């Protein structure tokens, strides 16, 4: 792996006035078009909201948030993707498709916390239609696990139980319009029985895929009386292995590491991990690509002058712990006679559409405390000292005029573009005394918070309980009939607070 090649693919050094950073990334769909990175509050993580039409017998619907249409022509049994909406208080109105707010059949006030995820459901029959809101738990899940719950939205099914076909009960006595607690289940393929009064099986869902790293909201919709009773499993990706997110070769339990040379005046270096070479000839102001490494404690990092031998006059010899599935950055900083390797974990968790994640690492040996601010706008990071790593800040994707300030004096300024669904580590490198102060901007691919519709299940014929079923491999193909019109629909406009 060469330092030069990795620089071209992963990093850009930003120096001087009017420099422009333009990194290539996959553009997420932003509702209502581009969001300007202006002097307004652009540093709040959006909440995300998906909408489900679970009102049997009701026509297709449009959904308005604060008077703006965000969903159009949503049919019964269908669910939207996640819509990014600023945190705070909002008015949600549901109208028959093509109607305006005066024809609202649901008119609700909704309070959303920044960064959280929600499901808004139109429930009950048309003459009693109402809105229900459910929080989605988007915390990381353990390796090999998925987070699963059931939401009961069938108006005539009575209280229901959910069990593994022929096996143990998972949730019992679920009332209409209530949601169970989440359970962490082993990833795999499940056959579930939905039971009503007297243990009568109302529906058997066979080969329901439950994937590692996802949260599932399995919604019971429709009616027993007209044979529309069905399950609509909604999937939310909450965590995936770093090698998958970053598109590198590696196992699902591997960690991902990249090395940054941020020590001015130091020679080219070779870097070894547990005495195996990671990069040879890494120059100041460059970084390596990510490389997959086995998880474990006390991983030894050795930095030697290029061409040197580990253990013989190492410039750095230190250890750090790496958790499986997570990504890390090892930043070599300091003066040539005082080098250190600092480790910082990257946050690659899914982002709301149209947003990016940014933090700063201070590796300039003589700059002292610095602030990072948007010109004529908010200060993103205050009083960042040498070898400090800030917390991440979520920002609206776009182009920003950034300023690096020391004692309220601008010492570096220019434009940076942050692409949607990307994570940026901005490293202050160089020195002020020789005008070499610069920013090394490193990017990594995150995910856009995604809410797909897993394979839904129609009612079919009530099944007879069989022998205990075993969880099988998650790659088992499901042969299931879709709920009519179930699927993701595109939203239109972004509401503003």
Q: Is 9 helix (H, G, I), strand (E, B) or coil?
A: helix
Instruction: Indicate if the pLDDT at residue 172 is higher than 90.
Output: yes
Separation CA 285–CA 93 (nearest Å):
52
Instruction: Indicate if the pLDDT at residue 487 is higher than 60.
Output: no
Are residues 124 and 190 in contact, defined by beta-carbon separation less than 8 angstroms? no
Q: Model confidence at 376, in pLDDT bands (50, 70, 90)?
A: confident
What are 56-104's pLDDT values in tens digits? 999 999 999 999 999 999 999 999 999 999 999 999 999 999 999 999 9
Helix or strand run (H / E) with residue 207: strand 201-210
Separation CA 13–CA 335 (nearest Å):
19
Q: What is the DSSP track for 269-301?
A: EEEEETTEEEEEEEPTTEEPPPEEE--EEEEEE
What pLDDT score was predicted for residue 455? Answer: 56
Distances (CA, A) of 97 to 62, 100, 104, 277, 484: 5, 9, 10, 61, 18
Q: What is the mean pLDDT of the chain?
A: 84
Average pLDDT value for residue range 169-195: 96
Q: Model confidence at 219, in pLDDT bands (50, 70, 90)?
A: very high
> CA angle at residue 293 from 292 to 298, to 5 degrees?
150
Q: Is 153 helix (H, G, I), strand (E, B) or coil?
A: coil
First-to-final CA distance of the chain: 47
Average pLDDT value for residue range 412-417: 92
Q: Model confidence at 1, in pLDDT bands (50, 70, 90)?
A: very low
Q: Model confidence at 32, in pLDDT bands (50, 70, 90)?
A: very low
What pLDDT score was predicted for residue 290? Answer: 95
Q: Model confidence at 27, in pLDDT bands (50, 70, 90)?
A: very low
Separation CA 159–CA 174 (nearest Å):
5
Q: Which two tokens stand for residue 475?
A: 């790659």
Separation CA 150–CA 119 (nearest Å):
13
Q: Select the more confidently predicted residue: 492 or 276.
A: 276
Q: Which two tokens stand for residue 433?
A: 């005394």
C-alpha torsion 329→330→331→335, nearest 10: 180
> CA angle at residue 381 from 375 to 382, to 5 degrees?
100
Q: Model confidence at 324, in pLDDT bands (50, 70, 90)?
A: confident
Q: Select the more confidently predicted residue: 490 or 78.
A: 78
Q: Select the more confidently predicted residue: 307 or 471.
A: 307
List the beta bridge partners of residue 273. Answer: 276, 301
Q: Beta strands 340-346 and 286-287: pairing type?
A: unpaired
What pLDDT score was predicted for residue 43? Answer: 81
Q: Which two tokens stand for residue 52?
A: 């489900």
Instruction: Indicate if the pLDDT at residue 180 is higher than 80.
Output: yes
Separation CA 269–CA 261 (nearest Å):
8
Q: Select the more confidently predicted residue: 206 or 89.
A: 89
Q: How many CB atoms lie within 10 A of CB 374?
A: 19
Are residues 238 and 170 in contact, defined by beta-carbon separation less than 8 angstroms? no
Q: How many CB atoms lie within 10 A of CB 125?
A: 13
Average pLDDT value for residue range 316-322: 91
What pLDDT score was predicted for residue 19? Answer: 26
Average pLDDT value for residue range 317-325: 90
Predicted TM-score (pTM) of this structure: 0.83
Residue in the structure block whose two tokens are 């309980």:
465
Q: Model confidence at 311, in pLDDT bands (50, 70, 90)?
A: confident
Q: Model confidence at 42, in pLDDT bands (50, 70, 90)?
A: confident
Q: Given 3-state DSSP classes, what are the helix, strand and coil percentages for the chain, each rounded to the nearest 5?
A: 5, 50, 45
Q: In what order do the strands lie in the sheet with 201-210?
A: 169-174, 160-164, 188-195, 201-210
List the beta bridge partners of residue 445. Answer: 422
Separation CA 27–CA 17 (nearest Å):
27
Average pLDDT value for residue range 23-36: 26
Are residues 282 and 268 in contact, defined by beta-carbon separation less than 8 angstroms? yes
Instruction: Indicate if the pLDDT at residue 26 is higher than 80.
Output: no
What pLDDT score was predicted for residue 86? Answer: 94
Distances (CA, A) of 215 to 85, 136, 325, 372, 481: 20, 8, 17, 36, 22
What does the chain come to in residues?
497
The count of C-alpha atoms lying within 13 angstroms of the C-alpha of 417, restricted to the half-sphere facing its C-beta, is 11
Distances (CA, A) of 135 to 76, 77, 227: 21, 20, 29
Helix or strand run (H / E) with residue 7: helix 3-10
Name the DSSP class of 242.
Answer: H
Q: Which two tokens stand for residue 464?
A: 């007879």
Q: Model confidence at 218, in pLDDT bands (50, 70, 90)?
A: very high
CA nearest 241: which of 293, 198, 206? 293
Q: How many CB atoms lie within 10 A of CB 319?
A: 12
How remote is the C-alpha of 339 from its chain's centroid? 34
What pLDDT score was predicted for residue 197? Answer: 92
What are 249-297's pLDDT values in tens digits? 998 899 999 999 999 999 999 999 988 999 999 999 999 999 999 998 9
């Amino acid at each position: 792996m060469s330092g030069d090649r990795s620089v071209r693919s992963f990093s850009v050094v930003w120096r001087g006035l009017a420099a422009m950073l333009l990194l290539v990334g996959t553009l997420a769909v932003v509702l209502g078009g581009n969001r300007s990175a202006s002097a307004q509050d652009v540093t709040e993580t959006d909440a995300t909201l998906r909408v489900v039409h679970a009102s049997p017998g009701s026509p297709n619907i449009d959904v308005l948030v604060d008077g703006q249409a965000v969903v159009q022509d949503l049919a019964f049994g269908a669910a939207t993707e996640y819509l990014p909406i600023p945190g705070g208080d909002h008015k949600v109105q549901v109208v028959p498709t093509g109607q305006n707010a005066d024809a609202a059949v649901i008119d609700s006030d909704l309070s959303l916390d920044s960064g959280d995820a929600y499901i808004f459901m139109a429930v009950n029959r048309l003459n009693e239609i109402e809105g229900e809101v459910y929080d989605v738990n988007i915390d990381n899940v353990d390796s090999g696990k998925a987070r699963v719950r059931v939401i009961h939205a069938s108006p005539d099914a009575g209280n229901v139980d959910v069990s593994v076909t022929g096996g143990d009960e998972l949730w019992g006595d679920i009332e209409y319009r209530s949601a169970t607690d989440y359970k962490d289940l082993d990833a795999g393929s499940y056959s579930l029985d939905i039971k009503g009064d007297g243990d009568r099986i109302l529906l058997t869902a066979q080969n329901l895929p439950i994937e590692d790293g996802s949260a599932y909201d399995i919604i019971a919709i429709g009616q027993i009386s007209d044979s529309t009773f069905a399950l609509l499993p909604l999937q939310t990706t909450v965590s995936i292995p770093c090698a998958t997110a970053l598109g590198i070769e590696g196992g699902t339990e591997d960690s991902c590491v990249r090395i940054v040379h941020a020590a001015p005046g130091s020679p080219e270096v070779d870097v070894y991990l547990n005495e195996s070479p990671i990069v040879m000839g890494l120059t100041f102001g460059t970084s390596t690509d990510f490389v997959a490494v086995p998880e474990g404690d006390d991983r030894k990092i050795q930095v030697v002058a290029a061409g040197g031998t580990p253990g013989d006059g190492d410039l750095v010899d230190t250890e750090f712990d790496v958790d499986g599935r997570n990504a890390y950055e090892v930043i070599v900083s300091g003066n040539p006679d005082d080098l250190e390797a600092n480790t910082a974990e990257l946050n690659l968790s899914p982002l709301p559409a149209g947003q990016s994640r940014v933090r700063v690492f201070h590796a300039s040996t003589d700059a002292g405390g610095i602030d990072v601010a948007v010109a004529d706008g908010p200060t993103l990071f205050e009083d960042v000292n040498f070898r400090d790593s800030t917390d991440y800040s979520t920002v609206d994707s776009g182009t920003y005029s950034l300023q690096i300030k020391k004692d309220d004096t601008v010492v570096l300024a220019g434009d940076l573009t942050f692409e949607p669904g990307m994570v940026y580590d901005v490293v202050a490198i160089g020195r002020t005394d020789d005008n070499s102060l610069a920013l090394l901007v490193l990017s990594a691919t995150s995910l856009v918070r995604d809410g797909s519709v897993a394979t839904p299940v129609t009612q079919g014929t009530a099944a007879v309980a069989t022998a205990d079923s075993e969880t099988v491999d998650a790659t088992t193909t499901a042969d299931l009939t879709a709920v009519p019109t179930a699927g993701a629909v595109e939203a239109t406009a972004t509401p503003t607070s």
